């Protein structure tokens, strides 16, 4: 639960980006993960403009 002023928000996932001040965080749903052997200069596995999946060695899922 996060308190924002007088409001309290129930969330499943909050990730601290910078512990500040000010505190910077991201609120998300279930995080996704992707795994594959890639060259450094290849597009990110989260580049949605690229074909999916990028190869047969690809693994992916969500954190439950």
> What confidence tens digit (pLDDT) does each residue in 1-46 have?
666 677 776 677 778 889 888 888 887 777 788 898 888 998 888 8
Residue 35's DSSP bridge partners are 59
Domain boundaries, position 50: 2-62
Task: Find, among 21, 23, 26, the residue nearest to 12 by Cα.
Answer: 26
Rounded Cα–Cα distance for residues 44 and 64 (Å) = 23
Number of domains in the chain: 1
* Residue of higher predicted confidence among 7 and 63: 63
pTM for the whole thing? 0.47
Task: Find, among 49, 45, 25, 26, the residue nearest to 37 by Cα.
Answer: 45
């Amino acid at each position: 639960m996060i308190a924002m002023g007088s409001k309290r928000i129930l969330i499943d996932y909050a990730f601290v980006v910078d512990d500040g001040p000010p505190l910077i965080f991201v609120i998300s749903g279930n995080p996704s993960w992707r795994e594959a052997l890639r060259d450094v200069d290849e597009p990110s596995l989260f580049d949605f403009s690229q074909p999916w999946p990028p190869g047969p060695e690809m693994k992916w899922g969500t954190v439950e």
